[in-house]
């Protein structure tokens, strides 16, 4: 059977982590099975949907590298279809018009609450045949009585829900827009979706959608309801308990692959492996290795995953991402290699390479003060003289030897030379090791920076 999947966000805000993970699972599953991946925008809430959110979602997905084979299909552009089907349902006696106003329903809900009961629509219009002219109406689905609604979930097995816990739910709102359960089921059937992978919060909605599938005379897809991602406080992820948007991560120097790796690993596993390339994940992904229990979002793990991927990233790729200029004479590859080793994110990495951007470095007062003593000046001068013996700074080993023999000769501690040297050469407290720094900037820049300091 051909695999067709979809990711169906609603454009009512930026992409949150749970949605992104759903997208990732769908993506991995589809690519693994050489299927078709569809993007569908569920914007049937006129009030909350916005073009801004839509663009933001599209941008985030693009940045993450999650690409689609079809779409985006926009539900608000398919309204005629939903309306026609709703009308057809009415004609067939599967649904009916309900003229009850929102105010009336509000009242029913309030009195139900007073009696400590749960509101349920009293089916007032279910069997009425009159159509009061000029009044707003909704179309409700005729939910059958005491019927077992069954479906299969690859993660949770056979699920059985009795229709009596369901209401005569609305399928078409009074503004002519479909409700979620209706349009989702229609699109999933019309787009021939074979597998629905989505959050567990949709598990109880599924019964309603099954009812729609049945009425449409279509076989429902195979479901996989993935567990939720929770915040540190074990409640639904929100800004308060640490949830961020994809834009936030981008700003904080997190690589797309790190997010994908971390999120995929939250709820999915392959033995003891923690770090995966995209290709590996596609190769290894399997619905059977998903976890059923909810997972708590842990930023420090993400940070570790990110630093691991930074270590692995190709320099060519890294240069593109950093959008950074290197001063000529800088050994760019060596600089990148050294910086990658210890950076926890791209911001830190960029910061540690600041000394590679221009001919000179700027020093703040505190730094200047720490290197302006007579002893330091002499030491640096001596080291400079010593360094003249070396024709090339290309090899880190040579510099190391140079340093060691210098320390021996002068009977100095590493600290006494390396600390001021680092400040003079980089103007920073965050940077690669001192031998690497010297090698990276090369003899020319080294000489220039040292001379400038000695002339101060």
Partner RNA sequence: GUCCCCAUCGUCUAGCCUGGUCUAGGACACCGCCCUUUCACGGCGAAAACAGGGGUUCAAAUCCCCUUGGGGACGCCA
Q: Per CB under 7 A, which of residues 422..441 are in contact with RNA? A: 422, 429-435
Residue list 134-173, contact with RNA (CB under 7 A): 136, 138, 156-157, 159-162, 165, 167, 169-170, 173
300 binds RNA (CB under 7 A): yes
Nearer to RNA, 143 or 328 (CB): 143
Return the residues of window 301-340 that contact RNA according to CB under 7 A. 301, 303-304, 307
Q: Least distance from C-beta 402 to RNA, angstroms? A: 12
Number of H helices, E strands in the chain: 18, 12
For residue 204, the minimal CB distance to RNA (Å) is 4
Both structure tokens of 438: 């010297």
- Residue-wise over 397-430: b if at least 16 C-beta within 10 A, else e? ebbeebbeebbeeeebeeeebbbbbbbbbbbbeb
Q: Closer CB to RNA, residue 218 or residue 342?
A: 342
The helix/strand/coil state of 222 is: strand
CA distance 237 to 241: 6
Among residues 92, 292, 357, 389, the one that binds RNA under rule CB under 7 A: 292
42 near RNA (CB under 7 A): yes
Phi, psi of 5 (to 5 degrees): -125, 170
Stretch that binds RNA, among 40-48, 123-131, 321-329, 444-452 (CB under 7 A): 40-48
Instruction: Using CB atoms within 10 Å of the CB of residue 135, give its burial: 0 to 12 exposed, 13 to 18 middle, 19+ buried.
Output: exposed
- Beta carbon of residue 2, minimum distance to RNA (angstroms, whole number): 25
Query: Which one of residues 7, 25, 89, 180 is an interface residue with RNA (CB under 7 A)?
Result: 180
Q: For residues 94 and 305, which CB has a smaller minimum distance to RNA in the complex?
A: 305
Size of the site for RNA (CB under 7 A): 84
201-260: contacts with RNA (CB under 7 A): 201-205, 227-228, 230, 234-236
How many CB atoms lie under 10 A from the CB of residue 30? 25
| Distance in angstroms (rounded) separating the CA atoms of residues 258 and 24 | 12
Nearer to RNA, 217 or 379 (CB): 379
Residues numbered 6-35 forming contacts with RNA, rule: CB under 7 A: 8-10, 12
State whether residue 143 is helix, strand or coil.
coil
> Does position 267 bind RNA by CB under 7 A?
yes
In terms of Cβ atoms closer than 10 Å to its own Cβ (0-12, 13-18, 19+), residue 263 is buried
Q: Which of residues 111-140 bind RNA (CB under 7 A)?
A: 116, 118-120, 136, 138
According to DSSP H, which parts of 313-413 are helical?
A: 315-322, 332-342, 346-352, 365-370, 374-387, 396-410
Which of 22, 179, 215, 306 touches RNA by CB under 7 A? 179
Under the criterion CB under 7 A, does residue 110 sit at the interface with RNA?
no
| C-alpha span between 179 and 95 (Å, rounded) | 14
Q: Among candidates 188, 95, 86, 203, which has minimal Cα distance to 142?
A: 95
For the chain, the maximum distance between any two Cα atoms, rounded to a whole number of angstroms, is 106
Shortest separation between residue 155's beta carbon and RNA, angstroms: 7
Closest CB 350 distance from RNA, rounded Å? 13
**Which single residue is written with the structure tokens 């890294």?**
318
Touching RNA, residues 353-412 (CB under 7 A): none
When asked if residue 60 is in the footprint of RNA (CB under 7 A), the reply is no
List binders of RNA among 77-106 (CB under 7 A): 100-102, 105
């Amino acid at each position: 059977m051909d695999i067709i999947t979809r990711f169906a966000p609603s454009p009512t805000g930026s992409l949150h982590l749970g949605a992104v993970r759903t997208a990732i699972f769908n993506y991995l599953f589809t690519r693994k099975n050489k299927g078709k991946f569809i993007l569908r925008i569920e914007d049937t809430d006129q009030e909350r949907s916005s073009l801004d959110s839509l663009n933001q979602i599209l941008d985030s997905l693009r940045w993450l590298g999650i690409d689609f084979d079809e779409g985006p299909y926009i539900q608000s552009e398919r309204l005629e279809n939903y309306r026609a089907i709703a009308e057809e349902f009415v004609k067939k006696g599967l649904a009916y018009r309900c003229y009850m106003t929102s105010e009336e329903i509000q009242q029913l809900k309030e009195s139900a609450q007073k009696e400590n009961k749960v509101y349920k629509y009293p089916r007032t219009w279910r069997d009425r045949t009159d159509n009061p002219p000029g009044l707003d109406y909704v179309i409700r689905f005729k939910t059958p009585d005491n019927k077992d609604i069954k479906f299969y979930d690859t993660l949770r097995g056979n699920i059985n829900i009795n229709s009596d816990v369901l209401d005569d739910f609305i399928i078409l709102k009074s503004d002519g827009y479909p409700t979620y359960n209706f349009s989702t089921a229609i699109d999933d059937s019309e787009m021939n979706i074979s597998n629905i992978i989505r959050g567990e919060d949709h598990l109880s909605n599924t019964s309603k959608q099954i009812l729609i599938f049945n009425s449409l005379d279509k076989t429902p897809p195979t479901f996989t309801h993935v567990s939720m991602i929770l915040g540190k406080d074990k409640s639904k992820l929100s800004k308060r308990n640490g949830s961020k948007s994809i834009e936030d991560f981008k700003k904080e120097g997190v690589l797309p692959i790190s997010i994908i790796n971390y999120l995929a690993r939250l709820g999915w596993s392959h033995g003891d492996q923690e770090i995966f390339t995209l290709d590996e994940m596609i190769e290894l992904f399997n619905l059977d290795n998903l976890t059923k229990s909810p997972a708590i979002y842990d930023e420090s793990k993400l940070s570790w995953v990110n630093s691991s991927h930074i270590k692995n990233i190709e320099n060519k790729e890294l240069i593109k991402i950093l959008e950074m200029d290197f001063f000529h004479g800088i050994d760019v590859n060596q600089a990148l290699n050294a910086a990658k080793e210890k950076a926890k994110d791209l911001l830190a990495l960029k910061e540690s390479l600041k000394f590679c951007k221009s001919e000179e470095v700027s020093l703040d007062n505190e730094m200047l003060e720490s290197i302006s003593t007579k002893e330091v000046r002499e030491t640096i001068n001596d080291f400079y003289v010593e360094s003249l013996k070396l024709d090339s700074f290309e090899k880190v080993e040579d510099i190391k030897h140079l340093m060691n023999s210098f320390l021996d000769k002068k009977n100095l501690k590493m600290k006494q030379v390396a600390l001021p040297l680092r400040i003079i050469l980089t103007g920073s407290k965050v940077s690669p090791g001192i031998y690497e720094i010297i090698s990276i900037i090369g003899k020319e820049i080294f000489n220039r920076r040292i001379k400038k300091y000695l002339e101060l």
